[in-house]
A and B are shown apart, each in its own frame.
Chain A
Amino acid sequence: MNRRNLGGIVQQKGARHLAMRALLFLTLGVFCLYYLAPLIVMVATSLKSLEEIRTGSLISLPQDVTFDAWSKAWSSACVGVRCDGLKPFFWNSVAMVVPAVAISTILGALNGYALTKWQFRGANVIFALILFGAFIPFQVILLPMARTLGVLGLAGTIPGLVFVHIIYGLAFTTLFFRNFFIGVSDGIIQAAQVDGAGFFGIFFRIVLPMSLPAIVVTVIWQFTQIWNDFLFGIAFTVGDSNPVTVALNNVVNTSTGVKEYNVDMAAAIIAALPTLAVYVIAGAYFVRGLSAGAVKG
């Protein structure tokens, strides 16, 4: 193959360079469309009436914008036998995600701090054993967890779900904070020790204030994971205590009456809105969490 043809990508001038750039942007644009199309279809469909969905086409924009599907999805769609819309389940998810994220983040910070800044014997082995918990397929703990929640009297409740998310979130939060604290100089800790500060004093007054970036990454990661969780929600809650993901699945798969695609789409957007908002507002931290949770062991 002719070398010069392909060398165009890095050449600075000329018509060939221009053509390559055009091709580059065209390709990038096509992929933008690929990723955005389902979102556009989802929003457009949610704003159409059922009549328009039947007569119109998949990608056509709504002619008469109506928010009926949205209000129905929020407050009167049927989830199983109950017809109060997604609202109660959305608040279930809020009630689940707030304590679960807060507690697992604090515990992870404490764990990561103790394991890195106070290197005692066996700290690395303990870390490796805890980390493994981030990789297990959760199917392997479903059965004993269901029984344990029953014994604790937490079966089918939101506090039970919070408990499960804290336990299995700990591996991730510990990982995030450990990776962050490893980069923090031991000198700061030693200086504080010389000044007479203790384990918790150093943690609350020195380490925690400086670990704001790690806290943001961890909170966003945990929030996304827990809000989007489906497996624990469907296995450990029943009916009224379902989180919004389970309720969404029930709305979509309710087979009674006419299939209302516009309500399904509106419900899907409602369920996705919190994590999408976090992504749009704090995307950079989200990406950092993805790569920290992934690449570094």
Chain B
Amino acid sequence: MVTRTQKPVPFSQKFESWLPRIVVSPLFALSLFFVYGFIGWTLYISFTKSGVMPNYTFEGLSQYERLWATPRWYVALGNMFVFSGLFIVISLTIGIFLAILLDQRVRIEGVIRTIYLYPMALSFIVTGTVWKWILNPGLGIQNFVRKAGFEDFSFDWLVNSDYAIYTVVIAAVWQSSGYAMALFLAGLRSVDDEILKAAAIDGASAFRTYFSVVLPIMRPVFLSTVIILAHLAIKSFDLVIALTGGGPGYATDMPATFMYAFAFQRSELGVAAASAVMMLTTVIAIVVPYLYSELRGKKR
């Protein structure tokens, strides 16, 4: 930076040196108001007895007590754990597997990668619409297999309250596993060639090289992929709405759809705010330590 300490500084230069701050401040103020201010508002509402309309009298934890006494909330939480767990594990497995395969000097890699990743460009509403059609028992896969001669074949997960949540997993994995592949492939490409050569000279097989040399080096990629997928999973709303509408009944409800239903359909602002705060807490617990280490790591 240019130093201007010797002479008294003319106003125009002083203004110029403040300009970056003047430009950033309104944008920062927007962020403070619309992110932190709004979080504060929602947090406060969750401690009041707001119903159809916001009510600003402080009420303590009563909305949280109501939330945790609502059976539907437990369904939503249970679904979130089942969905996130399966979604993350399956997407990671497919992602690593495909990334390793694509790393074997495949000539048409570009084309294949494009095919694996295109679902990421689709809206979850489109994905939900397609899979709703494919999984539809009447005309979809079930009907297809039955016509192929297996009369007793049954695949009605979409309309079965015990299994409907797994259809959400199927569609979500289809959409996002290519993304995991792309992240891992980028990670594999950044592994130093020298390390691979050294492993080859030591006589390690390709299999062993990947599992005991390459994958441990890629631990940061693992971590960020898991966090991104977890973050996607907790926020999932569109896909559930488009695929199952939260049903049958509320069998596939998730915290995001629960919050929406209580806020905009049942007009229970207090419970809705409390559930939103629970979601935020979960995301913070996952994301903040990660962001902290990332930003700190950068400075060094």
Known contacts: A141-B42, A170-B30, A252-B132. The answer to whether A111 contacts B24 by CB under 8 A is yes
Q: For residue B39, which residue of chain A has the nearest CB?
A: A140
B104–A271 CB distance below 8 A? no
Residues 135-183 of B at the A interface (beta carbon under 8 Å): 139-141, 143-144, 147, 174, 178-179, 182-183
B42–A199 CB distance below 8 A? no
Q: Judge if A214 is at the interface, Cβ distance under 8 Å.
A: no
Taking the closest CB of chain A, its distance from the CB of B119, in whole angstroms, is 6
Contacts between chains A and B (CB distance < 8 A), count: 281
Taking the closest CB of chain A, its distance from the CB of B44, in whole angstroms, is 10
Q: Judge if A181 is at the interface, Cβ distance under 8 Å.
A: no
Report how far A139 CA is from B112 CA in the complex, Å.
Answer: 36
Report how far A36 CA is from B111 CA in the complex, Å.
Answer: 12
Residues in chain A near residue B2, CB distance under 8 A: 190, 193-194
Residues in chain B near residue A111, CB distance under 8 A: 23-24, 27
Report how far A230 CA is from B123 CA in the complex, Å.
Answer: 8
Residues in chain A near residue B295, CB distance under 8 A: 124, 128, 297
A228–B123 CB distance below 8 A? yes
Report how far A107 CA is from B106 CA in the complex, Å.
Answer: 41
Q: Judge if B41 is at the interface, Cβ distance under 8 Å.
A: yes
Report how far A200 CA is from B114 CA in the complex, Å.
Answer: 39
Q: Judge if A13 is at the interface, Cβ distance under 8 Å.
A: no
Q: For residue B186, which residue of chain A has the nearest CB?
A: A291
Residues in chain A near residue B20, CB distance under 8 A: 114-115, 118, 120, 199
B121–A6 CB distance below 8 A? no
Report how far A143 CA is from B38 CA in the complex, Å.
Answer: 8
Most buried by A among B31, B129, B200: B129
Q: Judge if B287 is at the interface, Cβ distance under 8 Å.
A: yes
Q: Select which of B19, B34, B255 is within 8 A of A198 by beta carbon.
A: B19
Q: For residue A121, which residue of chain B has the nearest CB?
A: B21
A143–B272 CB distance below 8 A? yes
Q: Select which of A36, A129, A200, A245 is within 8 A of B31 by beta carbon.
A: A129
Known contacts: A57-B144, A140-B276, A265-B130. The answer to whether A297 contacts B291 by CB under 8 A is yes
B106–A139 CB distance below 8 A? no
Taking the closest CB of chain A, its distance from the CB of B219, in whole angstroms, is 13
Q: Judge if B228 is at the interface, Cβ distance under 8 Å.
A: yes
Report how far A111 CA is from B28 CA in the complex, Å.
Answer: 9
Residues 186-214 of B at the A interface (beta carbon under 8 Å): 186, 200, 203, 205-208
Contact indicator per residue, chain B 209-225, by CB within 8 Å of chain A (1) or not (0):
00000000000010011
Residues in chain B near residue A139, CB distance under 8 A: 237, 255-256, 259-260, 263, 275-276, 279-280
A-B interface, 8 closest residue pairs, ranked by CB to CB distance from nearest? A297-B294, A118-B20, A228-B123, A279-B121, A6-B207, A9-B206, A230-B238, A114-B20
A-B contact pairs, 26 of them (CB 8 A): A9-B206, A39-B118, A53-B139, A57-B147, A111-B27, A123-B24, A131-B291, A132-B288, A133-B34, A135-B231, A135-B287, A136-B280, A137-B283, A139-B237, A139-B260, A139-B280, A141-B35, A143-B45, A145-B38, A198-B19, A200-B19, A264-B129, A283-B117, A287-B182, A294-B183, A297-B291
Q: Which residues does A use to contact B, with CB under 8 Å?
A: 3-4, 6-10, 24-25, 27-28, 31-32, 34-36, 38-39, 41-42, 45, 53-54, 57-59, 107, 110-111, 114-115, 118-120, 123-124, 126, 128-133, 135-145, 147, 167-168, 170-171, 174, 190, 193-194, 198-200, 224, 227-231, 234-235, 245, 248-249, 252-253, 261, 264-265, 267-269, 271-272, 275-276, 278-280, 283, 286-287, 290-291, 294-297
